[in-house]
Amino acid sequence: MPETQKECHKDMDKDDGTSGSSSEEKRAKLYMVEGVPMMTNRYVYNEKIRNYKAKADDVLVATYPKAGTTWIIEIVDCILSGGVTEKIKSQPSGSRAPFIELGQSPYSPAGVDMLDTMPSPRLVKTHLPVKLVSPSFWDNNCRIIYVARNAKDVLVSYYFFHKMNFRMPEPGSWEEFFESFLSGKVAWGSWFDHVTNWWDIRERHRVLFIFYEDLVQDTMREVERVVHFLGQTLERTTLDEIVKHTAFSNMKDNPMTNFAPLTWCIQEISPFMRKGKVGDWKNHFTVAQNERFEEEYRRRMAKTSLRFTDDF
Ligand code: PPS
């Protein structure tokens, strides 16, 4: 067994993912899976996720954390359901779109086990980088929607998420987290590798690539792109209803989407639905941090054709 897997199994032996749920809960550690720092103490990657058997009509929503995952899931679920159904209004996002990497806990079954009992078409959430996605998604030519968000806002959002979610690793200070993020030493690894690798494979597979910034700028236009990609046709009134239902203010007030029922997420520290804006990084980066970030960004993005809007 390669070292990384041994590490993973060693960790699984130590922690079965069933520790407490309060703010006193032990924070996760990071373990390497094929060179990517992961919270592997909550799942057996090779046995469950790598071997997951996707079906041809599974729809995979893939993102780097904090890129707008919950938002696009709500949009896609509404589209696949033909509108804002009672189920969408009454069931938490996490049960309608299971998180494939999620391990079993006293509060929920493992993501893969939830998926196994779901009717098709199944909506699947992942933050996995390309190389860790189950090959069955590629083999079945599944539809995949990838949402990318600019790195600076992701960094800020991820920092506050670490602070409020006691199941995430300890973030350290803002300055420390800033450095961890830049060097890819955070859960799910390097933002640079994640977005550029997904960008590179988008045309070889059935991938719709969406930018968070575009979703903010013109939600209806992006919703229509998703409708088209999913091969659906919806009435204008239904589209209006979806855009309204998935507006930030509505998702912030909706316990099915705002993570408020999760006891390990302390909304008083920072709400899950925090700001929902483009450019909030300006309120947090120092001038020196911005210079350092820009330098690293230029270096890491030099070879890719992936471009984010300059408008942030
Ligand atoms: S997670 O934990 O990785 O699944 O988080 P994720 O859902 O990817 O990202 C959370 C950020 O997305 C923002 N968000 C939205 N922005 C605009 N409109 C809508 N409807 C919306 N829903 C979620 C959320 O506020 C988080 O960003 P920040 O910058 O922290 O506010």
Distances (CA, A) of 64 to 120, 146, 191, 234: 25, 9, 7, 29
SS3 208: strand
Cβ-contact 182, 158 below 8 angstroms: no
Q: Which superfamily does 42-300 belong to?
A: P-loop containing nucleotide triphosphate hydrolases (3.40.50.300)
Task: Say if ligand 1 is within 6 A of residue 168 CB.
Answer: no
The pick from 63, 69, 71, 156 for probing ligand 1's pocket by mutation, whose C-beta has the most ligand atoms within 8 angstroms, reads 71
**Domain coordinates in residue numbering, the chain:** 42-300
Q: What is the pLDDT of residue 44?
A: 63
Q: Is 127 a catalytic residue?
A: yes
Backbone φ and ψ for 224, nearest 5 degrees, come out as: -65, -35
Among candidate residues 242, 190, 192, 196, the one with its CA nearest the CA of residue 220:
242
The low-confidence residues of the chain, meaning pLDDT below 50, are: 1-24, 41-42
Nearest-atom number in ligand 1 for the CA of 276 is 16
SS3 148: strand
Q: Give me ligand 1 centre to Cα 68, in Å.
A: 4
SS3 40: helix
Q: What is the pLDDT of residue 18?
A: 32
Residue 260, exposed/middle/buried by CB under 10 A (0-12, 13-18, 19+)? middle
Q: Give me ligand 1 centre to Cα 278, in Å.
A: 11
Task: Say if ligand 1 is within 6 A of residue 28 CB.
Answer: no
Task: Say if ligand 1 is within 6 A of residue 15 CB.
Answer: no
Among candidate residues 185, 184, 171, 211, the one with its CA nearest the CA of residue 63:
211
Residue 149, exposed/middle/buried by CB under 10 A (0-12, 13-18, 19+)? buried
Among candidate residues 224, 181, 223, 211, the one with its CA nearest the CA of residue 306:
211
Establish how many alpha carbons lie within 13 A of residue 154's alpha carbon, considering only the half-sphere containing its beta carbon.
29
Q: Which amino acid is at 176?
A: E
Protein residue with its CA nearest to atom 12 in ligand 1: 68
pTM of the model: 0.92
Among candidate residues 167, 178, 191, 179, the one with its CA nearest the CA of residue 24:
167
